[in-house]
A and B are shown apart, each in its own frame.
Chain A
Amino acid sequence: MKTTSKLAWVIIAASTLIISLLAVATYYFIKNYSYTDFYKRLETRARITGDYYFEVEGKESETYQRLREKYLETLNNEAFHIVEVNSDSGKSIIKQLELPSSFIQLAVKNGKNRYQRNTVFFEALKYVQHGKTYLVILSAENYYAENHLKFIRYLLVGIIIIMALVVTLLFYYFTKNIFDPITKVTNKVKAISTENIHERLEKEKNSPEIDALIATFNDLLSRLETAFQSQNNFISNASHEYGTPLTAIIGEAEITLKKDRTQEEYKEALTSILTHAERINTITQSLLLLAQIGYNNRAIDLTILRCDDLVLEAATAIEKLHPKARINLDFNFLPENSFKLKVNGNRQLLLVALGNIINNACKYSNYQIVTVSVASSDQYVNIKVIDTGIGIPVEDLPYIYDPFFKAKNAKRFEGYGIGLPLTRNIIHLHKGELVIDSQENKGSLVHIKLPIAKIPQ
C-alpha cells in the first residue's frame, strides 16, 4: 500500500472515530438529561395534585382541572391516581396499572419513587392523612423526548457521514497539493543521470517547503557536477603533468639511442632525463603529502606557535627563494595580549601552507607588493594575504582546490596546481578556515583563520 493511501485510511478512520465518539457522548448526555427532566415534571405535577387533595379545604375537582389546564401543559397519555395503600380499592388500582410491588414498597419507604415501563413513566409521592398512607401516582408518555432523541440520532449519524466525506475530500485536496509535487520532484530527479547532470529542477509555485527541497536537490546536483568535473579535471591535468616530463624523457632517450654519442653527450642527455624524473618525483611526493594530510587524518605533532613568527619565517623563506618578491608585513593590528597570537599547530605544515599562499600571491602578481597582515579576534588568529595580481576568473573559482587545476589565466605561470589544495587541507587539519576573495585582473585576498590556542595566561 502506498504511503498516501495508508495516510488517507489512518486520517479518515481517526477523524471518523473521534466524531463518532463525540456524537455518542452528546447523545448519551442529552438522553439522560431529557429523562431526568421529565421525571421532575412528573414529580411537580404529582406534588400539586397531592397538595390539592390532601392539604386544601373544600376540594373541587373542577377547580383543580381548570387550574391544571390553565397552567400546565398536557402530557401525552397523562393520568393521575390517588391510592390508599393497603386498602382493597388501592390494591385493585395498582393491579390495574400493572405496577410492580417493589415500586410501591420503595415509594412508601422513601416517600417517592420512579418507574418506567416501555414509553410510560411513573412518579409516585407518599402522603399520610388521618393515620392512612396514600400514594399519588402520576403517569405519562415522554413523547417529546422520544421524538427529539430520534431526531438527534438521525442528525448525529448524518454529521458523522458528512464529516467523513469532508475529511476524505480535504485529504484528496491536500494529497494533490502536497504529495503530487513530491512525486513530480522524485520523477525529475530519477530522470537525471551523469549524461544530463547539468539539468536542474524548476521551482514550484506557492510551495516554500517544496522549493526548499528543490533548492537542496539543485545544490546537491551542482556539487555532484563539480565533483564529476573535478574528477575529469584531475585525470586530464594529472595526465598532462606526468605526461610532459615522461614525453621529454622518452624523447631524450630515443634521440640519444639513435646513434653512438660521446661521453659528454650521454652525460648531458642523462642530466636532462634526471631533471624530468625529479620533476615527476616532486609531483608524486606532493600528491602523497596531499593524500596523507587530506584523507588519513592522522595525528600530527602539535605545539604552541606564534602566528606573527610563522608569517615572518614564511615571508623570509619566500624572499630568499625569489629575491624579486616584495612582501609588506603589516603588524599594525597585532593584539596587545600576545596569547591571542598563539595557535596549536604543526610548524612545518603551517610554514608550507603560508609559504604556498605568499608564494602564489608574489608569483601571480608578477612580484608586485604583497601585503601580509596578522590580527586576532577573540576566537581566531586572522592572517590576510593581499595581492594585486591576475586574480581568479569567476568560472574557475569552484575548481581552485582541485589537485593539478590551474585557472585559465594562470597557465603561463610555473607550478603543478597542488599548492592550494595542500594548503586547504593543512588549514582544515588545524581546524581553521581558508577563504579566498578574488577578482580577475584586480587581485586576490586570501584569509586564513586559525583557532587561538586555549592556554592558561
Chain B
Amino acid sequence: MGYKTVLIPFDFNHQSLNFIHSCLTQIDEPVKIRLVFSSQTEESIFSLLFESKSRRIRKYLDQEFREELDIIKNVHENKIQEFTVDVFRGWNRAALANFCEGNKVDMIMLPTGTLSTSAQHRWLIKNLRKAALPIQLIETIQRTGFIQQSTATIDGEHQSADKVEVTR
C-alpha cells in the first residue's frame, strides 16, 4: 500500500515545532512526512564528497531540537510511516519542483504566515505556495508546556542575555 508523502517546511525554532505538531494533528491517515529546510550555505568540497547527506543534516540539528522532534514524532507515532528531515539547496522554482518530484511529494502543508524571519526560509515558503501540488494551510497555535520557548519568551519578550541555564 502506497502512503502519501507530505512535505512540511520548517526552520530551527520553536515556532516550527509548533507548526509541525499542528500539521500532524490535522492529518488523520498514515503518511510519510518529509520535513524540509532551506540552506544555501556553502559547503567544502571535502564535505560534499566524503560526508553522507544524513550526516550533513545531523550537523544542522542540535540535540535539543532533535529531541523535540522525537517528542512530536512519538505523539503522532501511529500516523507516521516514515519521518525524514531533508535540506533544499536550490535557488529557483524549477529546482524546487524537481525536488518535490524527486521526493514524490503528494501534498504540501504550509503555515498561514512564516515560521522565521530568515530570507532562505521565507523564499522556500513563498515558492512552495506557487508549487503545482495540493496545498493545505495550517494555522500555528502557540502552546505552553512542551513545545514552547523557555521563560524568556513566555510573555513574548526575548531576553537571552539574562537567561541562565543551570545543569548540575
Chain A interfacial positions (CB closer than 8 Å to B): 330, 332-337, 340, 371, 373, 375-380, 382, 384, 386, 388, 391, 394, 397-398, 400-401, 424, 433-440, 442-445
Contact = CB atoms under 8 A, between A and B. Distances in A.
Given A397-B164, A435-B167, A375 B75 contact: yes
Contacts of B72: 333
Given A336-B77, A445-B151, A377 B67 contact: yes
B71 A333 contact: yes
A336 B74 contact: yes
Nearest to B79: A336
* Most central of B70, B159, B163 by chain A CB within 10 Å: B70
Contact of B74 (A340, A433, A436): A340
Interface string B55-98: 00000000000011011101111100000000000000000000
Nearest to A337: B77
Given A340-B74, A388-B151, 12 more contacts: A333-B71, A333-B72, A333-B145, A335-B71, A382-B146, A386-B154, A433-B167, A436-B165, A439-B159, A439-B163, A442-B152, A442-B155
B150 interface: yes
Interface of B: 67-68, 70-72, 74-78, 143-147, 150-152, 154-155, 159, 162-168
Contacts of A377: 67-68, 70-71, 74
Closest 10 CB pairs of A and B: A335-B74, A377-B70, A373-B145, A330-B145, A377-B67, A336-B77, A333-B146, A375-B71, A437-B150, A378-B70
Contacts of B145: 330, 332-333, 371, 373, 384, 386
B164 A444 contact: no
A333 B154 contact: no
A420 B150 CA distance: 20
B145 to A, nearest CB: 4
Given A336-B76, A378-B70, A371 B166 contact: no
Contacts of A330: 144-146
Nearest to A442: B151
B166 A397 contact: yes
B26 to A, nearest CB: 15
A380 B146 contact: no
B153 to A, nearest CB: 10
Nearest to B155: A442
A333 B165 contact: no
A337 B71 CA distance: 11
Contact of B162 (A337, A439, A443): A439
Contact of B151 (A332, A335, A386, A433): A386
Contact of B164 (A332, A373, A401, A438): A438
Nearest to B72: A333
A225 to B, nearest CB: 15
A386 B144 CA distance: 9
8 contacts: A332-B143, A373-B145, A377-B68, A382-B71, A382-B146, A386-B144, A436-B165, A439-B162
* Most central of B74, B78, B159, B167 by chain A CB within 10 Å: B74
A20 to B, nearest CB: 41
A376 B74 contact: yes
B150 to A, nearest CB: 5
A379 B67 CA distance: 9
B146 A443 contact: no
B159 A376 contact: no
A307 B27 CA distance: 27
Contacts of B165: 435-437
A351 B144 CA distance: 24
* Most central of A373, A398, A401, A442 by chain B CB within 10 Å: A442
Contact of B152 (A336, A371, A439): A439
Nearest to A378: B70
Contacts of B77: 335-337
Contact of A378 (B74, B78, B162): B74
A109 B150 CA distance: 103
Contact of A333 (B147, B151, B155, B167): B147
B23 to A, nearest CB: 15
Nearest to A400: B166
Nearest to A333: B146
A181 to B, nearest CB: 32
A440 B100 CA distance: 47
Contacts of B70: 376-378
Given A335-B74, A401-B168, A380 B151 contact: no
